[in-house]
Amino acid sequence: VKNKPNLALLASGFGSNLQVILDEVSKGNLDATVRVVLSDKQNSQSLVRAKKAGVEAVHASPKQFESREKYDAHLVALLKERDIDWVVLAGFMRILSPVFVRAFQQRIVNIHPALLPKYPGTQAIERAFEAREKEIGVTVHYVDEGVDTGPIILQEKILISEGETLDEVTRKVHELEHRIYPEALRRVIGPF
């Protein structure tokens, strides 16, 4: 019998959010087991981070599959084999099809660098900055069948001051992400 939930972390890129989650788990600040890190990109830094943390790192390329649904079914099988309870998206740059979402109903969490429902999709920070928004933020939410539309778990704002550059704003957004993602996960995963 397990006494902690099994997490799968899905990432495509640099994996700074993934790193924070790995660190929080290893420090005992998030009561869960990271069972696998899965990436659709072979050269993702997240796979390196997983190996360093002693976590299984799996690259699953969508190229070998003829449709999104078939690829997603492959991912679901992979995760079910590992008895995954929660799927944590950390910069996973693919839209999950209903095949995936239904297999882990209410058990998929994502982080998005905007004050949803504003600025769903890619390049959210840049778009908010270019629109001269006075506030920006981060949202952690459940994943449903839409793009960045699921129920919000935690959202926090930051103000953009006059004269701040896009780089400065981007850095602040990432710092906020790293602070609130573990907090949001503690809330949803809770005592097992």
Q: Closest separation between CB of residue 112 and ligand GRF, Å?
A: 5
- Per CB under 6 A, does 139 bind ligand GRF? no
Q: Count the site residues for ligand GRF by CB under 6 A.
A: 13
Select 85 or 177, whichever has its Cβ closest to ligand GRF. 177
Residue 28's CB is within 10 A of a number of other CB atoms, namely 7
Q: Which stretch binds ligand GRF (CB under 6 A): 12-20, 30-38, 47-55, 97-105?
A: 12-20
CB nearer ligand GRF, residue 14 or residue 73: 14
Site for ligand GRF in 73-102 (CB under 6 A): 90-91
Closest contact distance (angstroms) between CB of 174 and ligand GRF is 6
Using the rule CB under 6 A, is 13 a contact of ligand GRF?
A: yes
Which residue reads 């397990």 in tokens? 2
- How crowded is residue 120: how many other Cβ atoms within 10 Å of its Cβ? 14
Rounded CA-CA distance 7/25 in Å is 10
Q: Which is nearer to ligand GRF, 53 or 73 (CB)?
A: 53
Catalytically annotated residue among 59, 74, 112, 178: 112
Active site residue 112: yes
**112 near ligand GRF, rule: CB under 6 A:** yes
Candidate list 5, 17, 24, 84; residue touching ligand GRF; CB under 6 A: 17
Q: What φ, ψ does residue 140 adopt, rounded to 5°?
A: -110, 130
Interface ranges with ligand GRF (CB under 6 A): 11, 13-18, 90-91, 111-113, 177
- Which residues are designated catalytic? 112
